[in-house]
Amino acid sequence: MISLAVSITLGNLMLASCLSSGVTTPKTLAIPKEMKEVVGEVVIHTTPCSITCGLGSKEDTVCEVGPDGVRRKCRAAIRHCLTTWHCGMHHFTVHTGRTFVLNCMGSQVLGLTHASFQFTWRVARGIISVDDGLFRPFLFRHHSLKFISVREHDSGTYRCDMYLLRNMKLVKRLYFGLRVLPSHLVKLNFLHSLTEGQKLMDEGLEVDLDNGSLPLHHQWKKKMTVIVAIGVTAGLVGMLMSIFLCSRLGMLFRAKTRKSASRAVHRKRRRRRRQQQQQHHHHHHRRRGRRKKPH
């Protein structure tokens, strides 16, 4: 209502200026003093909507502009935006017996929670299509549809409509094409055909499918996992090599010590035997010398 009043006031100002320039005498039209002093808010810059479909947010730069055209009291304002409510279809292929979740809301909307919206689901079983005439009501009111154990009967297209609760305005329509394959009959590598975002959702991560953005932590988390694995492996290899080298050096040192000790013992024994032989030989000569003296 405020913006409407400002627009009407500015329109009156423009009309008054045009009329005043078109007349020959200034006394024909008198502009009230209040209109000459009126100030209006004007958006001088705005950013693109945060998502390409559904309810998103944008940042506007708003300034007060008076009759002199000077901008005053400029500020940034975060506002909701809606480029289009039609978000197309996302395809999924799963095996029977698996737990699977279809999330209609996607990323968190600025200042709004799940309770700010109403969700309605419809289903066209056994067919992948966007023909709204094929859909039947599906009695479910939550933003995410969870299958505890997927069955072949669950195959088909699920349509989710997201309404803003305060005015029941449709802000998002999303189709999910679900194919369910029997695990005992075929074994296909369907992950190869999925997009990067669908692969991350298959791993249980929260992914914003509205604008195709991936969680920022996923890439560095993957790199950090590889770096940590390499570091742990290198550390284990280094520790094992250190233990092996220490054991080998210990064995060599002990063997060398035993060999040196054995040689020292042998040298000591030989020296002792040599001394004993010398003493015995000297004693024998002394005895012979004593026997020869009487002659």
Mean pLDDT, rounded, of the chain: 77
Strands 144-147 and 169-181: unpaired
Given a cut of 50, whether residue 282 has pLDDT beyond it is yes
Given a cut of 80, whether residue 281 has pLDDT beyond it is no
The domain covering 86-193 belongs, at the CATH homologous superfamily level, to: Immunoglobulins (2.60.40.10)
Radius of gyration of the chain (CA): 46
What's the longest Cα–Cα distance across the chain? 181
> Number of C-alpha atoms within 13 angstroms, CB side, residue 227?
6
280: left (phi over 0), alpha (psi -120 to 50) or beta: alpha
Which letter does DSSP use for residue 185 in this model? Answer: T
User: CA-CA distance, 210 to 291, in Å (whole number)?
Assistant: 127
Residue bearing the bigger pLDDT, 118 or 108 = 118
User: CA-CA distance, 205 to 107, in Å (whole number)?
Assistant: 12
Q: How sure is the predictor about 211, in pLDDT bands with cuts at 50, 70 and 90?
A: low
The three state secondary structure string of 10-73 is HHHHHHHHHHHHHCCCCCCCCCCHHHHCCCEEEEEEECCCCCCCCEEEEEEEEEEECCCCCEEE
User: CA-CA distance, 211 to 102, in Å (whole number)?
Assistant: 17
Domain ranges of the chain: 2-81, 86-193
Percent of the chain with pLDDT over 70: 70
Alpha helical stretches, state H, the chain: 2-22, 33-36, 196-202, 216-292
Residue bearing the bigger pLDDT, 69 or 194 = 69
Given a cut of 80, whether residue 76 has pLDDT beyond it is yes
Find, among 95, 64, 63, 59, the residue nearest to 77 by Cα. 59
Q: How sure is the predictor about 6, in pLDDT bands with cuts at 50, 70 and 90?
A: very low
* C-alpha separations of 230 from 164, 222, 233, 241 in Å: 49, 13, 5, 16
Task: Give the pTM.
Answer: 0.50
Find, among 215, 193, 173, the residue nearest to 88 by Cα. 173
